[in-house]
Structure 1
């Protein structure tokens, strides 16, 4: 488990992280979300001992990363696309890391299989695409067979097939009981991938919890409707105590209603309908609602 408690980082006039607390549970994929400048990367760097907190703590299974005697066997991390010697093959890069960490050389091929890079194992790093470098980074993180995996934007450079592969891999690792924390801007993908989310803005916690609960914290269901008599329908809907607004495409959007409810209002008012579509709130909508207007702290 990852535990962040009252974590703060002050850079002169900029407070990048402000009294931030959250937990990441084992056996689940947790999405770490926030706008640019929200403090996500700074938080991850503090968690991995790369930045010293101004206040608070960030621990992994009750210990700071810097206090672990053999961290590669406990925590795997990728904070940016993998870096390696340009003239070294993917397999050789992994074997060098194994040797430095005291791991058996066979782990290089095992993790190449895990991330689907075995066909490119003998290709030099300079010939790797960005997506292949992302896979190599994950392979490197998995060399020690860690129980905790921390990834910052791991889907960058991946095509749709690669993104699906990433989703299946991370879900599978969490299913083995590992703790998986993923920072990403791909909100639609995070809705499919994550079991839990932690949303931050301006260095502060905005929302955390299971994805289903966070989605429930946003706007209620909404209905898109088209009619040749928008004025009459708007009046009838508002008389029911529902919120309705006109959209640029000429449709009406009814907030907090189900399609059958709006259809009933139109029927009683004698208004002809050309479209009646129920829409469910998604993670992107909730994210934008929760983080709207929250600028970085100065």
Structure 2
């Protein structure tokens, strides 16, 4: 397969105006090959509009969105370069999943064997002969990914792919996307499942109100917000609480018997415990998780626009 020299996705000063609504506002970011990038934002942040512009389904008011240096509409035989799922797969209710994929193969000039190969890839081989009307939402999501992978593309763009998947299905999705990125493919995933994105994504792009809020490797984005709390475990909780309160720290007892301390670094907490002759069994600095960072970064910018 021959394709663009580079499979990076580049969004460059992209904007979309709908009458009085500016859905996307001068948005720029890059999605690198060989990595899973999470595309995050509150409802109405402009994520889906951005993806639709990237795939040539919506015309930008200004700016560009390219894949390998080319607009999607300029790609030759795009099914072999880009696979996309913007919603759960749709198919004729009376057609089997296998035949649905075969029809796409024939329209795209691909061998029928790709239908069976992608069914196996997404774990739908046992249900391949079942009619689409009997598919659950999770099965439809898998079928959509199978359709996106028919051309063996180097770029995969998914909008909320975990919708309808049970915990086992979400883990399967995570393993699949990580494996595809490890092969050098470019994977862009829009999702509201922030906990899952922290585990899955290598990089994140966070948007709100159509604007870029933060982008970068997950660890760097989390680290940029600083340490938010320290977990402490001690048999002398009352004495330690008194000592830490004198420092101006906040202490919140937890159901597991530990204390979450805010407003003081781990070293200061350890020194206060030593001075007060308090025995410590655990002292761990915990930075905010992706959900906490996301809420901090998008505070006051959420809501349907």
Could you tell me the TM-score, scaled by structure 1's length?
Answer: 0.91
Alignment of 1:101-250 (within 5 A): 101-225=108-232, 227-229=237-239, 232-238=242-248, 244-247=249-252
Partners of 1:295 and 1:139 in 2: CA distance: 33
Partners of 2:148 and 2:302 in 1: CA distance: 33
1:71 aligns with one of 47, 70, 78: 78
Structure 1: stretches of 5+ with no match in the other structure:
239-243
2:265 aligns with one of 249, 257, 261: 257
1:35 aligns with one of 30, 35, 42: 42
Structure 2: stretches of 5+ with no match in the other structure:
1-7
| 1:102-152 alpha-carbon deviations (Å, 9 max, x no partner) | 111111001011111001000111111111111000000000111100000
Aligned to 1:241: none
Shift of 1:274: 9.0
Partners of 1:203 and 1:101 in 2: CA distance: 34
Aligned pair in 2 of structure 1 residues 11, 262: CA closer, same or farther (>3 Å)? same
| 1:12-33 alpha-carbon deviations (Å, 9 max, x no partner) | 1111110000000111111101
Q: Is 219-228 or 106-115 further displaced after alignment?
A: 219-228
Shift of 1:219: 2.9
* RMSD, matched Cα: 2.2
Q: Are the aligned partners of 1:203 and 1:297 in contact in 2 as well (CA < 8 Å)?
A: no
Q: Is 215-224 or 190-199 further displaced after alignment?
A: 215-224
Question: How many residue pairs are counted as aligned between the two chains?
Answer: 292
Aligned pair in 2 of structure 1 residues 131, 289: CA closer, same or farther (>3 Å)? same
Could you tell me the TM-score, scaled by structure 2's length?
Answer: 0.89
| 1:241-262 alpha-carbon deviations (Å, 9 max, x no partner) | xxx335486955224622x541
Partners of 2:163 and 2:222 in 1: CA distance: 25
> In structure 2, the residue corresponding to 1:35 is in which secondary structure?
coil
Partners of 2:264 and 2:230 in 1: CA distance: 8
> In structure 1, the residue corresponding to 2:184 is in which secondary structure?
coil
1:94 equivalenced with 2:104 (yes/no):
no
Partners of 2:172 and 2:217 in 1: CA distance: 23
Q: Are the aligned partners of 1:232 and 1:271 in contact in 2 as well (CA < 8 Å)?
A: no
